[in-house]
Amino acid sequence: MTPRRGGGRARGLIALMAVAGLTLSACGGGDAADEPADEPATQDTTADTEAPAEEPVTEETLVEETIAPEEDLDPVFGGTLRYAIEADVDGLNPTRNSISAPGYVILNAVFDNLFVYDENDVAVPFLAESGTPSDDFKDWTVKLREGVTFHDGTPLNADALLVNFSSLRSSALPALAINPFFPPLNADGTDPGIEKVDDLTVIYHLLDPQAYFPAYLTGQLGMVGSPTWLEAALVDPTLNQSPVGTGPFVFSGRSEDSVTTVVRNEDWWYGDVYLDAVEFMPVTDADLRVELMLNAEIDALHTTHFPSIDTLEAEGFKQVIDETGEESFGMINMAVPPFDDIRAREALALAAPIEQYQLLINEGLGTRANGRFVPSSPNHNADVVQVGDDIAAAQPLVAEYCAERGDETNPLLATTTCTDGKINMELQWAGPSVVQSRIADILEAAWSEAGFNVTRQEIPQDDHIAQVAVGAYNVVTWRQFGAPEPAVDNVWLLCRTIGAISLNWPRNCDEARDEVLLAAAASTDPAERASLYQEAEQMIADAYTYIFFNHTRWSNAFADNVYGICDRMLPDGAHARCYSGGAGDLSTVWMQ
């Protein structure tokens, strides 16, 4: 079977820009950013699903052809695509490892998902043939396609889904995004969260009504690995570095922090794959990635660094620009002193150098974010405005805090929470990254003037994510949210995802906010959902656990001899969404 392509033609560069929500960089502005582990997925339902389709996002979208049309070019086989990613990942097992944006770039080549997003951000069946909800949206029946096999020859069937689900449920970090939404295991070890109906059909049983559950199956929950490989990896964890999926490319080899190689799957169930191979190379510095591109040492890259995107545009490279999701922000751990006190959090937010950040990091090319939604989204709350640039207002709060609680212990720094009337804190970020270090300089200067003693820590991205997960931080720069279906982002916000290891990273439990978010996930009324999300945005702002900088701008850039970008067609005849959150599909890409 040959996948259908856009009129048989390569599409060339398509820049998807949310006009009303022009945005910027990741993780506080640079690359080597922290997109949290195992982002589950996003929006709507399916052509074969009886769930209500969500009202389309009302953001205006500019589709811009910035290179000469590539009509009448027939794809050719061959070539190795060299792709620079912003960081390496700790493993390539979607059921066991935390997967950030670079991980999705690699794993999208090896694995297929049960559902994928079409160009309208509707989650439609891919490996699945259909998905059908119960009347209360708590039970979802998923039927697989027939005749699909994994790279190792193992058949894709209901038993494979059971093994994948079990592996996720027993993992360290990914389980935190799964288990809170499904019933706990029975005493006899059986799993009430998933039920086999027949050889190709399972039912997922949820704790809460989820009207848009197929969106979750576009991420790690729906990224299906060979059960033979998964069971072997439980015995030999080194196999987590050697993924086995059903996707367009087969894993070939990996040298951690150097290169990961995949080769063409000659027997892909969905049709032809044109590239001989793809080499994924981690390059943590955004400027170096661009330099490699300019010198033709790589053929593709992704970046969230606005000046890099500007340079790539000036040099005429093909870029797919996605500004429709993710926010960059500072994130505060409210579980330990000093930031268990709202006065300390509010003071930090008030003193945040938002305007200077826009000027020096974004070079004035981006716009501010005030919360999770761009202004054109129906869920945007126009009354919520990110505070900042007010050192004078922050200083009395610092003085008040230190006068009352200055003798307590900051467990991260093993010192008192205050010294000489200033709050002691640690600022942590992922690196090495020149941009992230510049961000730290700007934040430290403003916060020091407001009355904070800032200790700095730069560590590799994987370690950084792990420390945030266990709460071993005061303040970090971070990149998150932005799921096309906002209910998917509940994993980062609900009380139930707080524990010894947490995905509610700030550890902010607000039961009233949980009720609002879960009601929005269950609602099929667009107006009601918008009102609920606006209410939740105010509650998030009132907690002062996030200091929003920008909506992230992602670029996936390609050399002139790379074609077939964004040409993927789905089984129902729709175009697939091209790139989202820095990752996309390479199955239709080819090189001259």
Segment 189-199, tens digit of pLDDT:
999 999 999 99
**Looking at 15-29, 166-180, 252-266, 325-339, which range is the least confident one?**
15-29
Domain boundaries along the sequence of the chain: 6-324+553-591, 327-551
Residue whose C-alpha is closest to residue 221's, from 268, 175, 267: 175
**460-494: per-residue pLDDT in tens?**
887 998 899 999 999 999 989 988 889 999 999 99
For the chain, the average pLDDT equals 88
As separate numbers, helices (DSSP H) first and strands (DSSP E) second, the chain gives: 13, 27
Residue 262 has pLDDT above 90, yes or no: yes
At 517, give phi and psi (nearest 5°).
-65, -40
Residue 430 has pLDDT above 80, yes or no: yes
Characterize 567-579 residue by residue with b for buried, 16 or more Cβ atoms within 10 angstroms of its Cβ, and e for exposed. bbbbbeebbbbbb
DSSP one-letter string for 315-333: TT-EEEEE-SS-EEEEEE-
Contact between 299 and 103 (Cβ < 8 Å): no
Question: For 516-520, what is the mean pLDDT?
Answer: 98
Residue type, 570: L
User: pLDDT exceeding 70 applies to what percent of the chain?
Assistant: 88
| Band of residue 365 on the pLDDT scale cut at 50, 70, 90 | confident
Residue 5 has pLDDT above 70, yes or no: no
- Is pLDDT larger for residue 25 or for residue 311? 311
pLDDT at residue 280, rounded to an integer: 98
Residue 71 has pLDDT above 60, yes or no: no
Q: For residues 156 and 545, what is the distance between their CA atoms, to the nearest angstrom?
A: 43
Residue 85 has pLDDT above 90, yes or no: yes
Q: Which two tokens stand for residue 528?
A: 């009601």
Contact between 34 and 461 (Cβ < 8 Å): yes
Question: For 248-274, what is the mean pLDDT?
Answer: 96
pLDDT at residue 98, rounded to an integer: 83
Q: For residues 94 and 39, what is the distance between their CA atoms, to the nearest angstrom?
A: 10
Q: For residues 97 and 359, what is the distance between their CA atoms, to the nearest angstrom?
A: 36
Q: Which residue has the tokens 């593709």?
A: 300
Strands 475-480 and 327-332: antiparallel
- Is pLDDT larger for residue 52 or for residue 304? 304
DSSP one-letter string for 433-451: -HHHHHHHHHHHHHHHHHT
We find that the CATH architecture of domain 6-324+553-591 is 3-Layer(aba) Sandwich (3.40)
Q: For residues 582 and 27, what is the distance between their CA atoms, to the nearest angstrom?
A: 13
At 184, give phi and psi (nearest 5°).
-70, 160
Question: For 269-275, what is the mean pLDDT?
Answer: 98
pLDDT at residue 57, rounded to an integer: 36
> What angle is formed at CA 50 by the lines to CA 44 and CA 55, rounded to 5 degrees?
35
Contact between 365 and 357 (Cβ < 8 Å): no
Q: Which residue has the tokens 């699945």?
A: 128
Q: For residues 442 and 425, what is the distance between their CA atoms, to the nearest angstrom?
A: 15
> CB neighbours of 223 closer than 8 A, spacing ≥ 6?
94, 107, 111, 112, 113, 245
470 burial via Cβ count (<10 Å: 0-12, 13-18, 19+):
exposed
Residue 108 has pLDDT above 90, yes or no: yes
Inter-axis angle of helices 158-169 and 227-235, nearest 10: 30
Residue 53 has pLDDT above 50, yes or no: no
**Looking at 2-6, 193-197, 380-384, 389-393, which range is the least confident one?**
2-6
Q: For residues 197 and 438, what is the distance between their CA atoms, to the nearest angstrom?
A: 55
**521-567: per-residue pLDDT in tens?**
999 999 999 999 999 999 999 999 999 998 888 999 999 999 999 99
Contact between 275 and 80 (Cβ < 8 Å): yes
Q: For residues 264 and 259, what is the distance between their CA atoms, to the nearest angstrom?
A: 17
Q: Which two tokens stand for residue 133?
A: 């909800």
Residue 224 has pLDDT above 80, yes or no: yes
**Which of the listed CATH numbers 3.30.470.10, 3.10.105.10, 3.40.50.300, 3.40.190.10 matches domain 327-551?**
3.10.105.10
**171-182: per-residue pLDDT in tens?**
988 898 999 999
349 burial via Cβ count (<10 Å: 0-12, 13-18, 19+):
buried
DSSP one-letter string for 205-227: E-SS--TTGGGGGGTGGGB---H
| Band of residue 28 on the pLDDT scale cut at 50, 70, 90 | very low
Q: What is the CA radius of gyration of the chain?
A: 23
| Band of residue 55 on the pLDDT scale cut at 50, 70, 90 | very low
Q: For residues 235 and 227, what is the distance between their CA atoms, to the nearest angstrom?
A: 13
Q: For residues 239 and 42, what is the distance between their CA atoms, to the nearest angstrom?
A: 29
Residue 445 has pLDDT above 90, yes or no: yes
CB atoms under 10 Å from CB of 386, counted, come to 18
pLDDT at residue 61, rounded to an integer: 32
